[in-house]
Structure 1
Amino acid sequence: GKNRISENSLLLSAFLFGSIGAFLSMQIFRHKTKKLKFRILVPLFFVLRVLILYYLYKYMI
């Protein structure tokens, strides 16, 4: 009967605020590690963030 956060909210927070932290939390706490959606999207968010930062660094500086 406790309140729970939705999976979409977890994925959105991983995308916006830190995919590496979400990934490490998944591994340390063994939470959502069996969900295919999380196993694919969280690392993908990390790769996207790295590519965006690379682009900004290369073309903006």
Structure 2
Amino acid sequence: MNWWFLWGAYFLWNSYVFVAMWRDKRRAKLHRWRIPETRLLIMGAAFGGVGLYAGMKCFRHKTAHLKFVIGAPLLIVVNLAMIGFFYYFTI
């Protein structure tokens, strides 16, 4: 398995989740349609925890919501554990 490809996909996905957090923050300021919180958390759970947490901190978005304050760092740990699990069992 080509791990460089997987790390590249991981980087791109987390970049997408980061941009989604920026777009949701911008739409909140403009009082427009927002990305549902559940969708943001699902994107974080689908290996996007780093992008979710970085977007939260960088844009100061969703920092008052306990499910994001606790959930985003927890999703990073779960994502890294899953990557380690896949790495361990494929080599």
Measured against the shorter chain, the TM-score band is: 0.7 to 0.9
In structure 2, C-alpha distance between the alignment counterparts of 1:57 and 1:2, rounded to whole Å: 42
Partner SS for 1:26: helix
TM-score normalised to the size of structure 2? 0.61
Question: Percent identity of the aligned residues?
Answer: 38
**Aligned 8 A contact 2:47 2:79 in 1:** no
- Unaligned residue ranges in structure 1 (runs of 5+): none
Residues 33 and 7 of structure 1, relative CA distance in 2, 3 Å threshold: same
Counterpart for residue 56 of structure 1: 86
* Structure with more of its chain in helix, by fraction: 2
Higher relative contact order (CA 8 A, sep 6+): 1
Aligned residues: 61
In structure 2, C-alpha distance between the alignment counterparts of 1:43 and 1:35, rounded to whole Å: 13
- Unaligned residue ranges in structure 2 (runs of 5+): 1-30
What do you get for the CA RMSD once the two structures are aligned? 1.3
